[in-house]
Structure 1
Amino acid sequence: MSSMENKESEGNMDEATSDPKTKVLKKKKRKGKNQESSSKSKETVKAWWVPKADNEPKEEKELNNVTLKFVAKQSDFGIPQVPIEVPENADSEELNKIVSSFLEKAGDVEEIPTFEFLVGEKILLSTIGNHLTELGISYELTTEVQYFERYPPPAPKDNLEHDDWVSSVKSSGEWLVTGCYDNTVQLWDISGMERGRGKRAHKLTIPAHKAPVKAVSWLNKKGAIKSFVSVESLGVERNGTKFATGSWDNTIKIWDGAISNSEGVGHEEEPDKKKVKKSKSQRLKTPIYTFVGHSESVSGIDWIDNNHFLSCSWDHSIRLWDIQAAGKITQINGSVAFFCLSYSPLNRTVLAGCADRQIKLYDPRAREGNIVQNKFSNHTKWVPSVMWSPHNENLFVSGSYDHKIKVWDRRSATSSLYNLLGHDEKVLSVDWSHADHIASGSADCTAQIYST
């Protein structure tokens, strides 16, 4: 209803309405020259809604109190665990003030950070009253609230310009390898990178393929010689001893990760040349195993341990495979195509990016594996890339066709922690292999680096 609403009616009205919010104005019709006066002449009545003045007292809803007990997940920020009553409309900002006041009085912390609050294993995003109601927790109980230092937002470090779409990125810490739609693999030195140094970071262009490079990953990150592999979809075993590749022919092949001098590009450093030609003596590898089972393209692969790996496909399934048994152990069936997956050895769960714009969390070894443990629904378009943090069991990063990169906490399904800006087109790949930074590749022909 608008702040002022006109109402017109016709009829006899001798008295104004008793409602103090309504004014009634009476206006008699003028008699024309040829019009006779009549006691039955009609009156035009107009009524306006008159809003309350700002200084008029407003009825306020009586707030209930809830009793909380604050428990620090980091001992450096502990406060007395005594019951504290707060109004039900208190949010994380108000709870931060309470904790900070205790820490200030104690004087043991030089710089008090901003905290996140965890109630019932979920991050507090609304008021404490709404949060407890959603979880079905009674106001009559004393509720334990865990708090911890808020994860700082990743900071843009630099962008690396390419000649075509950047479909895959993978960091080794000091080096970044990127796969591109111009059929090349690019190598970048990102050690100690400062903003504006992107062009100087480029070290090598390898014209390794006859088609767009969809996936790249490191095989050996240590020592003077470093090796990587590039294919359609790819997962490297965590020790680099072998790797698995997926293809449009619906198969998965397992390969030996050891690289001999006659395999791969295998060139020594050539400082005067930016491009390296393919070696004529280059020998093609043959797979150790081939796994068959998916009915459509294999879109993502990740390893659990040296003997087990996961795969996802456009056929709406995620499968757990055993190399020694040379077959499938279990299968998770979804309702839409899966585009990517990431397994966390820290929490033993798997994330999958889906065609319904959601990221879904599964436990691949649970008996009820088909049951989605959580759904993260904040992207507006397809999610082709997702990856767990290597150092925090609750954090992960995702990239979407909606041009956005999001950093998530798995305890907050409806809202991401941060949106990382920088891309003008769909995000095709994200990587959080190294704890110090996040990398991304996009259809805007750039790779972005964010320090974490």
Structure 2
Amino acid sequence: MASTEETKTAQVRIQLTTRYPDIELPDDPGPLLVSTGFRRYALSTLVNNLLQTERPVPFEFLINGQFLRTSIDEFLTANGISAETTLTVEYVRALIPPLHVSSYEHDDWISSVDVLSGSSPAVREAEEVSSGQERILSGGYDGLFRMWNMSNEVIATSNAPDEGGHTLAIKSVKFISPQKIASSSMDRTIRVWDYSEESATLTPTLELYGHKSSVDSIAVHSQSSRILSSSSDRSVGLWTTKKSEAPSAPENLIPKARNKRRKLSHPTPSKTGTQRGPLSLLTGHTDVVSSAIFSPTDHTVGYSASWDHTIRTWDLTTSACVDTRTTAHPLLSLAAMNGANLLAAGTSARHITMIDPRASATTIAAMTLRGHTNGVVSLAADPDSPYGLVSGSHDGTCRVWDIRSVRPGVGEVGGGQVGESVYVIPREILKEKGKSKAPVGGEGLKVFGVCWDKHVGIVSVGEDKRVQVNKAGDIIRT
């Protein structure tokens, strides 16, 4: 390796490039000779000078798909690249730390969160959600979910059990459309609700029965009116929100009401007027199914993750499992990263396994993301980038990842690379209590759910009974 003095004076030829027209160099300067001692800051200054920016813009740099985290010389040495090579260096705007915007307080632990904005999947082309009219849904262990506006105000709350609401803790809540919501619960049901913005009311319209245990997560595909559910009964459910298309509910699963005079039991009348069953129940997992999602490119394909260490791919038109990938640990959460053709699976072993679900994939784990100190129970992809991901963990933090920020995975099971988080988002309540970090294991601060919305930001919920909103400042995403 070159000495420090040699590193300062040695030079390497680089070719600057970017995929983003708004920060493209007006004139291609061609290959440039720069010191191998340059790090990110020096390269960022160079690009700003070439762009002649009025205010410096912080940039990150990628070489062969990896972020430059050292000097160029150290990068070349670590990757076995000759200094005689002309390096193609891609520059992109740096991620800005997501800052705390606001927190909304619940009466109980919060299990799930979803956001409605102009960029949400639940909003179709003919619909609009104006800036400032975004909505946040939060589902609680008190059996209720709440609709919040951006002024920290609850504008609607779901019904109590005697009025058609859930009878046990809510585990998942999702927008189907700006006027329709789905929720699932430990009471083994999924319920569909109509929402009126004018009257700020939530009306239960459909009760879905089929699971024999807690329904721990749901995913919706608004255009096809389909719902996927995962349950601790080891099955995945496929449902429709259209009453006319849904089969009858299984009578043995509908709660019974007892006639005291005749000592007879009969199905409890629905408070919503409609009880329906699943289009199909997908079986094959041998333990709790923690998460089920639709493929982002084909709603007839679904993926499920389970405590049985597997991710299964389902053909939803035939209810057949077409692929099974087995990992080393129980899986607690799942998210799809569309542009990267990867599935992110949160594990009980405190890391995230990145899996290529395509049949042509030669390895199971393409990458491992490490940094959490407890189970990773919630994941959400960056809505603006194929490389970004946010995770929520029982360690009391969320972490923001860029899967281009990697290092060789020495000693990793199955090989692959190791990614490290770009930012850590602590629970804001820690600052209020004058503490710098969460207790070991995250006791009292466990994150149960996280959502990433282009307009609202990163919204997380958990054991601290708070909906916490974090958002980057004035930034044009890469």
With structure 2 as the length reference, what TM-score do the two structures score?
0.71
> Closer, same or farther in 2 for the Cα pair 1:76/1:247, shift >3 Å?
closer
Is 1:76 matched with 2:19? Answer: no
Pick which of 278-287 and 347-356 moved more.
278-287
**Equivalent position of 2:468 in the other structure:** 448
> SS in structure 2 opposite 1:346?
helix
Query: Are residues 315 and 60 of structure 1, via their aligned partners in 2, closer, same or farther at CA, if it must alter by over 3 Å?
Result: closer
Residue 315 and residue 370 in structure 1: after superposition, are their counterparts in 2 closer, same or farther (change >3 A)?
Answer: farther
- Aligned partner of 1:228 in structure 2 is 182
CA change 1:394–1:308 in 2 (3 A) is same
Q: Distance in 2 between matches of 1:117 and 1:210?
A: 52
1:67 maps to which residue?
13
Q: Which residue of 2 aligns with 1:131?
A: 75
Q: CA deviation at 1:112?
A: 3.6
Task: State the alpha-carbon separation in 2 of the partners of residues 321 and 209 from structure 1.
Answer: 29
**Aligned alpha-carbon RMSD (Å):** 2.4
The amino acid across from 2:105 in the alignment is E
Paired residue secondary structure (2:275): coil
Q: 2:106 aligns with which of 147, 154, 162?
A: 162
**Aligned pairs for 1:219-368 within 5 A:** 219-221=176-178, 225-231=179-185, 232-239=216-223, 241-258=225-242, 280-304=271-295, 305-368=298-361
SS at match of 1:306: coil
**Paired residues of 1:350 and 1:364 also in contact (CA < 8 A):** yes
Deviation at 1:309, TM superposition (A): 0.5
Q: For structure 1, which runs of at least 5 residues remain unmatched after alignment?
A: 1-58, 264-277
The letter of the residue matching 2:452 is W
Correspondences of 1:89-104 after superposition (within 5 Å): 89-104=37-52
Distance 2:462 2:362 in 1: 32
Give the secondary structure class of the aligned counterpart of 2:360.
coil
The alpha-carbon distance between structure 1 residues 60 and 369, as it changes in their structure 2 partners (threshold 3 A), is closer
The offset of 1:345, in angstroms, is 3.1
Answer yes or no: is the 8 Å Cα contact 1:240–1:257 preserved in 2: no
Kindly indicate whether the alpha-carbon contact (under 8 Å) linking 2:138 and 2:146 is maintained by their aligned counterparts in 1. yes
User: How far off its partner does 1:410 sit?
Assistant: 1.4
Structure 2 match to 1:85: 33
Aligned-pair CA distance for 1:363:
1.5
- Is residue 178–residue 186 contact of structure 1 (8 Å, CA) maintained in 2? yes
Decide which of 159, 165, 171 is 1:214's aligned counterpart.
Answer: 171
- Aligned identity (percent) is 28
Q: Using a 3 Å threshold, how does the CA distance of structure 1 residues 167 and 240 change in structure 2: closer, same or farther?
A: farther
Which residue of the partner structure matches residue 124 of structure 2? none
Q: Structure 2: which 5+ runs fail to align?
A: 118-133, 186-215, 249-268, 407-418, 431-444, 473-478
Query: What is the CA-CA distance between 1:181 and the residue it aligns to?
Result: 1.4
Given that residues 146 and 158 in structure 2 are in contact (C-alpha distance below 8 angstroms), is that contact kept between their aligned partners in structure 1? yes
Pick which of 206-215 and 173-182 moved more: 206-215
Match of 2:389 in 1: 396
8 Å Cα contact 1:91/1:125 also seen in 2? yes
Displacement of 1:429: 0.7
Bigger Cα displacement from structure 2, 173-182 vs 69-78? 69-78
Distance 1:345 1:382, change over 3 A: same
Query: Secondary structure of 1:96's match?
Result: helix
SS of match in other structure, 1:384: strand
SS state at 1:62 partner: helix
* Partner Cα distance (1:125, 1:361) in 2: 22
Separation (CA, whole Å) in 1 of partners of 2:181 and 2:222:
14
| Larger radius of gyration between Structure 1 and Structure 2 | 1
- Counterpart of 1:230, as a letter, is S
Change beyond 3 A, Cα 1:350–1:281: closer
Matched positions, count: 365
The letter of the residue matching 2:11 is: N
Question: In 2, distance between residues paired with 1:154 and 1:86?
Answer: 32
Structure 2 CA distance for partners of 1:317 and 1:216, relative to 1, 3 Å:
same
**1:365-384 Cα deviation digits (max 9, x unpaired):** 13336521111112222111
**Amino acid of the structure 2 residue aligned with 1:132:** L
Counterpart check, 1:416 vs 2:421? yes
Is the 8 Å Cα contact of residues 243 and 276 (structure 2) preserved in structure 1? no
The answer on whether the counterparts of 2:144 and 2:157 sit within 8 Å (CA) in structure 1 is no
- Give the aligned residue type for 1:156: H
2: CA distance between counterparts of 1:355 and 1:308? 26
CA distance in 2, matches of 1:246, 1:329: 18
Structure with greater contact order relative to length (CA < 8 Å, sep ≥ 6) = 2
Aligned partner of 2:140 in structure 1 is 180
Judged with a 3 Å threshold, the aligned counterparts in structure 2 of structure 1 residues 152 and 303 are, in CA distance, closer, same or farther, namely same
Which has the higher mean CA deviation after the structures are superposed, 64-73 or 330-339? 64-73
Task: Determine if contact 1:69/1:143 at 8 Å carries over to the other structure.
Answer: yes
SS at match of 1:420: strand
1: CA distance between counterparts of 2:372 and 2:458?
18
> AA paired with 1:124?
L
Q: TM-score normalized by structure 1? A: 0.75
User: 2:173 touches 2:181 (CA, 8 Å); kept in 1?
Assistant: no
User: What's the offset of the Cα at 1:386?
Assistant: 0.8
